[in-house]
Chains A and B, each alone.
Chain A
Amino acid sequence: MTGTTNPDGSPRTHYLNAAYGLKSWLLTRDHKRIALLYLVSISVFFALGGLMAVLIRMELATPEGDLFQPDIYNRLFTMHGVLMIFFFLIPGIPAVLGNFLIPLMIGARDLAFPRINLLSWYLYSIGGLFTLWALLHGGVDTGWTFYTPLSTNYVNTSVITVGVGIFIAGFSSILTGLNFVVTIHRMRAPGLTWFRLPLFVWSAYATSLIQILGTPVIAIAILLVAAERTLHIGVFDPKLGGDPVLFQHLFWFYSHPAVYIMILPSMGVVSELVATFSRKPIFGYKFVAFASIGIAVLGFLVWGHHMFVSGQSIYAGVIFSVLSMLVAVPSAIKVFNWTATLYKGSISWDTPMLYALGFIGLFTIGGLTGVMLATLGIDAHVHDTYFIIAHFHYIMVGGAIMGYLGGLHFWWPKITGRMYPLFWSKLSAIVIFIGFNVTFFPQFILGYLGMPRRYHSYPPEFQVLNVMSSAGATVLGLGYLMPLVYFIWSMRYGPKAPSNPWGATGLEWQTTSPPPVENFLTQPIVTGPPYTYPAPKRAPEVTVGV
């Protein structure tokens, strides 16, 4: 073949084949390639964290602690939490989908600071290597929450190494957030006003605010833990004159908003999916957009709901309870608006839509059980039981990961230029949905019955529900393996994807699949609101309104 275009008119050179070799990837400043670097690295951590979950569920199949020594079990659940939260979920959607999509969605050539973007990935990787190194040296057994004084003066594991890993990865998160905020403010295409932005961009913006404002606080908390461990400065340990509950305030001041770092981008993905696959604008666009900002702001005011039984004043508990109730309102607004969008839509049952529906169902249950946990009288009973485990897995796995996978399936043709098998992908969405519910629903009941979390062995009356949960985890694990297999398969054998396989609006679908290095051959100009169907046909030379 000669010339610069394929027979179908798309350019032969795109971001994937523009350069070859390891160096062209490790020194790239292309946001699309950096997104793929993130995709590979977070997948490694997801697999490792998942493997630990499998081992945890194997141990819990019987009431006796007969598979692992207690110290090993404690390290398993700690490392499961650390890897999944700090190295998979928090970077997850912002760094992979956000990196890839934000410049494309706003019609920009790249992020505002491409070099800092690459630096973010290196910081993330260095943080991850510290954590893996700690894992090889036995890991850490404090729980991912690192509560003091257990973490500062009582355990003898790699607390500092893992702490340093999280500390460094935190800067990656801050820089990514900063990059997104500047990009969204400064680099929107002509005509792309704030209220013409895709809702994914709004949610990425809200997420970035949390990353910038929240992450420094966990960095401070980690430094103080390290200082107490090494220099015996009394900050948290009462034997040294410290206050152990102070740590919980610092920790949750970040780690509660961090939940929104995980869920907000998924909500953005779901807004895109619901609009695309019902071929109409999102019902109440402005409400959905401002709900993201509302969640981000209120999210900073509710950390004390993790501490209702911590010895915190019961009046402080009352304030945190009512504020937590308020967070439920913007979340409810989103769910109702997505549902209303379906009304009189033209709904296709494509794979990404199945994931989006899974998200809505699981997030609704996760959110409503969150409301129960915000209720003081209920939390005092189910606090630190399997009820809370079930709740946050409904949000973080049922919500965040369903959204992430939905997004991957949606933009995979754009990212790789290839389609994946429809049958297997629909099956994976169904298997994951069923496996997830069988795994985590019994845990709500276990929790109300009183089974505490982080128990290596448990009273025999809890066994039936635990066996159900372990069986469900097997199904869930299989469900997660399926996309891994067919995505890899599709990169070589999948049919070539057209530039807009779903008939979606949005600037990213106006360019070729995969996009050229410079994203758009001509500067896109936006002339109308988002989600105006039917989607315009792609004109390679002149890009008109969205």
Chain B
Amino acid sequence: MIPSSPLLPDQASDVARSVDHLMLFALSGLVFFSALIAILVLVFMVKYRRRSDDEVGIDIYETNPKSHVLELVWSVIPLTLLLVLFGWGTKVFFDQNRPPAGAEQYWVTGRQWMWKIQHPDGRREINELHVPVGRAVQLRMISEDVIHDFFVPAFRIHVDVLPSRYTTYWFKANRTGSFHLFCGQYCGTEHSKMVGHVIVMEPRAYEAWLAGEKTGPSAIASGEELFVAKSCNTCHRPDSSARAPILNGVFGTQASLNDGTKALVNEDYIRESILNPAAKVVTGYQPIMPTFKGQVSEEELIQLVNYVKSLKAASATTAEAGK
């Protein structure tokens, strides 16, 4: 455990602590080698200062057969340390980027210059994210315009928010408090105003906060409404005369495409199929679906994705048909 200091930001997750330990290791290497070079240089500068105008240095490289050994030593030792640092850094990076199973899923939409957040129960916030302490939280993020970046120094991780596909940020806060949320990727005029807070609360306080907030329909319910409003259900019907693939139970499966390849049905696949339906068409269907590009916002797309994701296979036969 590293004590809090003005040189370290708040440390609000176990991952943050492991990043600090890694940093400390790298820093000790930096201090050691910088000091070594600085001391050697200064000592040589003084000890071997020129004492007379016609003095020359003594070449020890050619005369000393151990010179090559020295070259080897100062190549191999740094290389070894670098590889240790690489291995450790990679392990920490995997911890930073791979959410544990069962993490609660929130949705983040970035736009110039605000963060819009949807809770699993449909609650929405702008530039603030309230979460309970001690629970793993997974953010699925997308941008409506340019590239943004979700950065909470207290969790020691940046993840870019792209306009082209979903990226994932996760954390498990281990202490309560209000922590800076920054946009970490330059995004235009008010980039430095695209900031907010992640507010980590005790479970009881969180419940109280939830109770005091207005709840909208859940993302799934909103998605279902949209599914009907946009007439998706006229083709994507769970019956055999459907002109489009049945969506029940399709999420997480491999879809066979009419070009002979397969594609994993995940959030990105569903989003792409709404915006650019002709890109990956399931075998046995015609590319007749119109594009919804420009007709549904990123937030609505998130709701539709959530709805499709929630559709469980009614029976084994429909699940088979959905492939």
Given contacts A372-B30, A381-B156, contact A458 B184 (CB under 8 A): no
Tell whether B58 is near chain A: CB-to-CB under 8 Å: yes
Which residues of B are found within 8 Å of A347, using beta-carbon distances?
Answer: 44-45, 48-50, 57
Asked if residues A450 and B112 are in contact (CB atoms below 8 Å), the reply is no
Given contact pairs A329-B79, A372-B23, A448 touches B7 in the complex (Cβ within 8 A) = yes
Cα–Cα, bound, A328→B86 (Å): 12
A357 touches B83 (CB 8 A): no
Contacting residue for B57 out of A279, A378, A453, CB 8 A: A279
Is the beta-carbon distance between B67 and A284 smaller than 8 angstroms?
Answer: yes
Q: Contacts A333-B75, A381-B153, A449-B7 hold; do A314 and B22 have CB atoms under 8 A apart?
A: no
The proximity string for B residues 158-177 relative to A, scoring 1 for CB distances below 8 Å and 0 otherwise, is 11101111010000000000
Q: Does A423 sit at the interface, judged by CB under 8 A? A: no
Q: Which partner residue on chain B sits nearest A454 by CB separation?
A: B186
Minimum CB–CB distance for B168 against chain A, Å? 10
Cβ–Cβ contact B9 & A332, under 8 A: no
Is there a chain B Cβ closer than 8 Å to A132's Cβ? no
Q: How distant is the Cα of A170 from the Cα of B60 in the complex, in angstroms?
A: 43
B319 within 8 A of A: no
Query: Which A6-65 residues have a C-beta within 8 angstroms of B?
Result: 65
Please tell me if B213 contacts chain A, counting CB pairs below 8 Å: no
Nearest B-chain residue to A332, judged by Cβ: B78
CB distance from B199 to the nearest CB of A (A): 16
Whether B8 and A449, one on each chain, are in contact in the complex, defined by CB atoms closer than 8 angstroms, is yes
Q: Interface stretch among B34-42, B131-139, B214-222, B227-235?
A: B34-42
Q: Which of B120-128, B187-195, B251-259, B307-315 lies at the interface with chain A?
A: B187-195
Q: How many residues of A contact B (CB 8 A)?
A: 90
Q: How far, in Å, is B81 (CB) from chain A's closest CB?
A: 9
Residues of A within 8 A of B183 (CB): 452
* Bound Cα distance from A410 to B114, whole angstroms: 53
Cα separation A243 to B86 with both chains bound (whole Å) = 29
> In this complex, what residue of B is CB-closest to A243?
B164
* CB within 8 Å: A-B pair count: 271
Q: How far is the CA of A383 from the CA of B153 in the complex (A)?
A: 11
Interface positions, chain A 201-249, Cβ under 8 Å from B, are 237-239, 241, 243-245
Q: Which residues of B contact A285 (CB under 8 A)?
A: 61
Q: Which B-chain residue is minimally distant from A464 (CB atoms)?
A: B6
Residues of B within 8 A of A74 (CB): 186, 188-189, 191
Q: A322-B86, A452-B183 are in contact. Are A378 and B26 (CB under 8 A)?
A: yes
- Number of residues from B at the complex interface, CB < 8 A: 86
* Contact yes or no, A348 B96, CB < 8 A: no
Specify which chain B residues have a CB less than 8 angstroms from the CB of A70 in the assembled complex. Answer: 189-193
CB distance from B33 to the nearest CB of A (A): 6
CB atoms of B93 and A329 under 8 A apart:
no
Q: Which residues of B contact A345 (CB under 8 A)?
A: 44, 48, 57-58
B147 within 8 Å of A (CB atoms): yes
- Which B residues from 37 to 94 make CB contacts under 8 A with A? 37-38, 40-41, 44-45, 48-51, 54-62, 67, 70-71, 74-75, 78-79, 82-83, 85-86, 88-94
Determine the chain A residues whose CB is within 8 A of the CB of B191 once the complex forms. 70, 74, 454-456
Chain A contacts for B29, CB-based, 8 A:
368, 371
A65-B192, A325-B82, A335-B37 known; A452 vs B151 contact (CB < 8 Å): yes
User: Which B residues are CB-close (under 8 A) to A143?
Assistant: 186
Chain A stretch 361-412: residues in CB contact (< 8 A) with chain B = 361, 364-365, 368-369, 371-372, 374-381, 383-385
B-chain residues with CB within 8 Å of residue A322 when the two chains form the complex: 83, 86
Binds B, one of A149-157, A182-190, A430-438: A149-157
Contact of B92 among A147, A326, A369, A377 (CB under 8 A): A377
Q: How far is the CA of A243 from the CA of B276 in the complex (A)?
A: 14
- CA distance in complex: A342, B37 (Å): 11
CB < 8 Å: which of B22, B90, B186, B276 contacts A147? B186
A450 is contacted by which of B45, B50, B153, B187 (Cβ under 8 Å)? B153
**Which of A328, A371, A380, A449 makes the CB contact (< 8 A) with B158?**
A380
B19, B67, B85: which contacts A325 (Cβ < 8 A)?
Answer: B85
The residues of B that contact A475 with a CB separation of less than 8 Å are none
Smallest Cβ-Cβ distance to B95: which chain A residue: A377
Bound together, the chains give a CA A308 to CA B34 distance in angstroms of: 27
How many angstroms from the CA of A455 to the CA of B95 in the assembled complex? 29
A109 and B227 CA atoms in complex are apart in Å by 78
Give the complex CA separation of A150 and B186 in angstroms: 9
Q: Contact partner of A344 among B60, B156, B164, CB < 8 A? A: B60
Instruction: Contact check, B189 vs A71: say whether CB atoms are below 8 A apart.
Output: yes
Residues of chain A within 8 A (CB-CB) of B62 are 281
Q: Which residues of B contact A154 (CB under 8 A)?
A: 112, 145-146, 188
CB distance from B68 to the nearest CB of A (A): 8
Is A490 an interface position by the 8 A CB rule? no
* Interface presence of B185 (CB below 8 A): yes
B26 is contacted by which of A238, A279, A375 (Cβ under 8 Å)? A375
B277 to chain A, nearest CB (A): 13
A448 touches B9 (CB 8 A): yes
Residue on A with the closest CB to B96? A380
B18 at the interface (CB under 8 A from A): yes
Instruction: Point out the residues of chain A lying under 8 angstroms from B85, CB to CB.
Output: 325, 371, 375
- Tell me the complex Cα distance, A91–B21, Å: 41
Q: Which residues of A contact B61 (CB under 8 A)?
A: 281, 283-285
5 extra interface residue pairs, beta carbon distance < 8 Å, beyond A141-B189, A149-B146, A333-B71: A245-B162, A325-B83, A328-B78, A346-B50, A371-B26
Q: Identify 7 residue pairs between A and B in the complex whose beta-carbon atoms are under 8 Å apart, listed by A's number.
A: A150-B188, A309-B184, A333-B74, A348-B50, A381-B156, A452-B182, A453-B186
6 shortest interchain CB distances as A-B pairs = A450-B153, A377-B92, A280-B57, A375-B89, A376-B93, A345-B57
